[in-house]
Each structure stands twice: as structure tokens, then as C-alpha cells.
């Protein structure tokens, strides 16, 4: 082999050796280590490391203690008539959280229905205001829906800083807020929409949410209370006599009026209440029409009916815009059942019986 070929072989061998050395050094210095196989996560460890979903805190209504979706409640009160000509079209009472029932004049009763969070589409027939209805609405800084009112009723609204005036006679005529249903004769045909009234409250800046529970809620602790599965409330005329029958299966009182089930014709359901309060106060006529003065502050006797039992007590209210408080015969605050409350206002204890 000549010298030239031998030189080429030596150079090629050296080059090959150099490539091998560089490759080994590169692999040892820069190559990534082999990934270690992952151990399977045991089932109990998997449960431990999975994020735990926090339960949303339930929001309870300040008025009826039921679970609601809204973070705040703003009260709307509606004056609803109870004339016999209005009963076949009466709507919205069954959904109210709290209802005050009292005489207007002539022995005819009328309702003040409170809606703290509802969006009820049809409520009525809406009727005129009396001063004591205004006083009951004041305790909630409520919007008050009515259809005009007595002279004293309207002046009480205008002078109050604790109610937002929603006069249906001034607002009717369009397609919102207050509308007439001409299937029925006036004045028994004016209805309102709670959702639309809330829009009007927003537009006019009436933003006064409720801040505290109205009642003390809880279980009935007094097992020695007398039974009261049937409650009779006698207003001046039989058409307005009220009876409540306790249903042990549902835990509520079913309402009857003039001997028949009291039906809400908006929902076609019989009106029920978890609590029935009979509040005794002083009232009497003040003019030839029979309009009433009614004591709405101070104190007086009352009875709470719940769970088929009766608990006598006392109501107190120091000022017209302060809330009522209710106490048992030992001076302890009365505990109400969760759910709707109906308050019947009478001026004599003899108009109340139970069995």
C-alpha cells in the first residue's frame, strides 16, 4: 500500500474515533434522563386531592323564613278588596308572605298583602287606602299600591317618609303597573303586577331593603299549649266570617270565608297560612260614612295559632313606623313557624273562638 492511501486510512480512522468520542460525551452531558414511571393514585388519595365545591349559603326571607334566591328583599304592599263582588276575580293573595286583614267600613273587610321578594304578575282587585293600612306599611319602608283613598288615608301617605306612594288611579291607563280587566265591573277590576312595580321602584330610586327578620322563627317549644285545630274569627256580617282548619299532614291552616274555601283565582289554590295571628285593638267609626279610627301603636292582646295550637300573648309597637313585636304571657318573644302569616285585626275578644 502506498504512503498516500495509508495516510487517508489513518485520517479517516482518527475522524471516526473523534465522532464516536463526541457522541458519547454529548449523550452523557446533555441527554435528558429517562422519566420514572408514575405510580397509580389510589382511589382514597384521589378523593382527597380533588377540589371540594363549597355549598352556597342559603338565603332566608326576613318575613316568612323560606329559602329565596334574592340577596335582598324590598317590600311592596297592596291593598286588596274583599267585597263579595270581587271574590271571583281575587288574585295574588295566596302568594303573599304576610297579610293584614281588617275592616274598612260597613263591616266589609279588606286586605293589606305584603310581597317582600315575589314577582307576582296579577294582584287585586286593588282598592283604596285607609290610614291604618298606611301605618302597617310604614314598618317596612314599603311601597304601597292602592287605588286612591279616604282623605285621611291619602294625607297619611303624603306626610309619611316611610312609604313609596303607588296610586293606581294616577298610574293606570297604559299597559303596565295598573290595568283594568273589563270582564268585571269597576271598581272591582283594577289589578297590578308586582314585577312591574319593582321596575317603577328602581326607576324612581326607592331602594330601601329590609334589614332584620320580622318574626322570631323556630319550632314550637310549649307542648302544653291548648289545641286549636279550628279557629273562628267573626267580623260583623256572615259573608266575612273567617274559619281556619289545621291540616296536620301539611302543617298549615286552610282558610275558609263565608263557609267556603277561600280560593285565590290567580293560582286556583286555597289560601293557607303557617301562622294565624288575631290582633285585638281599639277601633270605631268617625264619620257618617263609617270610616274608622284604628289604634296601630301601643300594646294590646293577641293570639298566635300555629301547629294546631294557640299561644296567648301581647303585641307591642312604640311608634307608627316601628315593627310589631309579639310576646307570650311570660314576656318572652313569641316564636313563629316558617311560612306565611295572616293577621286578623279585631276590636273585641268575643269575636274569636277556637276548638
What would the pLDDT profile of 101-157 be if each residue is shown by its tens digit? 999 998 999 999 999 999 999 999 999 999 999 999 999 999 999 999 999 999 999
Q: Is 54 a member of any domain?
A: no
pLDDT at 276: 98
Whether 279 contacts 345, CB under 8 Å: yes
CA gap 40, 79 in Å, rounded:
68
Q: Is 56 a member of any domain?
A: no
Q: Is 135 a member of any domain?
A: yes
Q: Is 340 a member of any domain?
A: yes
Q: Is 57 a member of any domain?
A: no
Domain range for 91 is: 73-213+222-354
CA gap 340, 342 in Å, rounded:
7
Q: Is 184 a member of any domain?
A: yes
pTM over 0.95, yes/no:
no
What would the pLDDT profile of 264-296 be if each residue is shown by its tens digit? 999 999 999 999 999 999 999 998 888 999 999
pLDDT tier, 72 (very low <50, low <70, confident <90, very high otherwise): confident
pLDDT at 324: 97
Say which CATH number the domain at 237 has: 3.50.90.10
pLDDT at 130: 97
What would the pLDDT profile of 146-176 be if each residue is shown by its tens digit? 999 999 999 999 999 999 999 999 999 888 9
The mean pLDDT value for 48-72 works out to 79
Domain count, the chain: 1
What would the pLDDT profile of 315-333 be if each residue is shown by its tens digit? 999 988 899 999 999 999 9
- Kindly give, in sequence order, each residue whose CB lies less than 8 Å from that of residue 51, ignoring residues fewer than 6 positions away: none
**85-to-81, 82, 188, 265 alpha-carbon distances in Å:** 9, 8, 7, 14
The mean pLDDT value for 165-193 works out to 94
Beta bridge partners of 192: 123, 178
pLDDT at 194: 97
Q: Is 306 a member of any domain?
A: yes
Q: Is 254 a member of any domain?
A: yes
Mean pLDDT taken over the chain: 88
- Residues 159, 187, 148: CA angle, nearest 5 degrees: 10
What would the pLDDT profile of 214-249 be if each residue is shown by its tens digit? 999 999 977 788 999 999 999 999 999 999 999 999
Whole-number percent of the chain with pLDDT over 90: 76
Res. 32: pLDDT tops 50: no
pLDDT tier, 18 (very low <50, low <70, confident <90, very high otherwise): low
Amino acid at each position: 500500500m502506498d504512503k498516500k492511501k495509508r495516510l487517508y486510512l489513518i485520517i479517516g480512522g482518527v475522524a471516526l474515533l473523534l465522532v464516536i468520542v463526541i457522541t458519547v460525551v454529548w449523550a452523557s452531558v446533555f441527554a435528558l434522563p429517562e422519566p420514572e414511571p408514575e405510580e397509580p393514585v389510589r382511589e382514597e388519595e384521589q378523593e382527597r386531592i380533588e377540589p371540594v365545591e363549597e355549598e352556597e349559603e342559603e338565603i332566608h326571607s326576613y318575613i316568612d323564613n323560606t329559602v329565596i334566591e334574592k340577596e335582598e328583599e324590598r317590600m311592596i304592599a297592596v291593598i286588596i278588596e274583599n267585597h263579595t263582588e270581587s271574590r271571583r276575580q281575587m288574585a295574588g293573595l295566596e302568594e303573599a308572605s304576610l297579610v293584614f286583614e281588617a275592616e274598612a267600613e260597613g263591616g266589609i273587610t279588606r286586605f293589606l298583602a305584603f310581597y317582600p321578594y315575589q314577582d307576582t304578575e296579577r294582584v287585586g282587585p286593588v282598592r283604596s287606602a285607609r290610614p291604618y293600612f298606611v301605618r302597617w306599611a310604614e314598618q317596612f319602608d314599603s311601597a304601597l299600591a292602592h287605588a286612591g283613598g279616604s282623605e285621611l288615608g291619602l294625607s297619611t301617605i303624603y306626610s309619611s317618609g316611610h312609604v313609596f306612594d303607588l296610586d293606581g288611579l294616577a298610574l293606570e291607563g297604559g299597559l303596565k303597573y295598573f290595568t283594568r280587566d273589563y270582564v268585571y265591573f269597576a271598581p272591582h277590576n283594577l289589578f297590578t303586577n308586582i314585577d312591574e312595580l319593582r321596575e317603577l321602584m328602581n326607576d324612581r330610586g326607592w331602594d330601601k331593603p329590609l334589614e332584620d327578620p320580622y318574626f322570631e322563627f323556630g319550632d314550637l317549644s310549649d307542648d302544653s299549649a291548648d289545641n286549636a285545630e279550628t279557629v273562628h274569627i267573626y267580623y260583623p256580617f256572615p259573608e266575612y266570617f273567617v274559619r281556619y282548619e289545621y291540616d296536620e299532614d301539611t302543617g298549615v291552616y286552610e282558610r275558609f270565608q263565608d263557609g267556603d274555601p277561600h280560593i285565590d283565582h290567580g293560582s286556583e289554590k286555597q289560601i293557607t297560612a303557617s301562622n294565624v295571628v288575631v290582633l285585638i285593638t281599639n277601633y270605631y267609626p268617625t264619620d257618617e260614612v263609617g270610616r274608622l279610627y284604628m289604634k296601630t301603636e301601643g300594646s294590646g292582646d293577641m293570639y298566635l295559632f300555629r301547629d294546631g295550637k294557640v299561644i296567648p300573648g301581647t303585641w307591642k309597637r312604640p311608634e307608627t313606623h316601628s315593627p310589631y313585636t309579639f310576646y307570650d304571657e311570660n314576656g318572652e318573644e313569641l316564636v313563629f313557624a316558617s311560612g306565611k302569616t295572616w293577621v286578623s285585626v279585631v276590636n273585641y275578644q268575643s269575636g274569636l273562638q277556637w276548638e
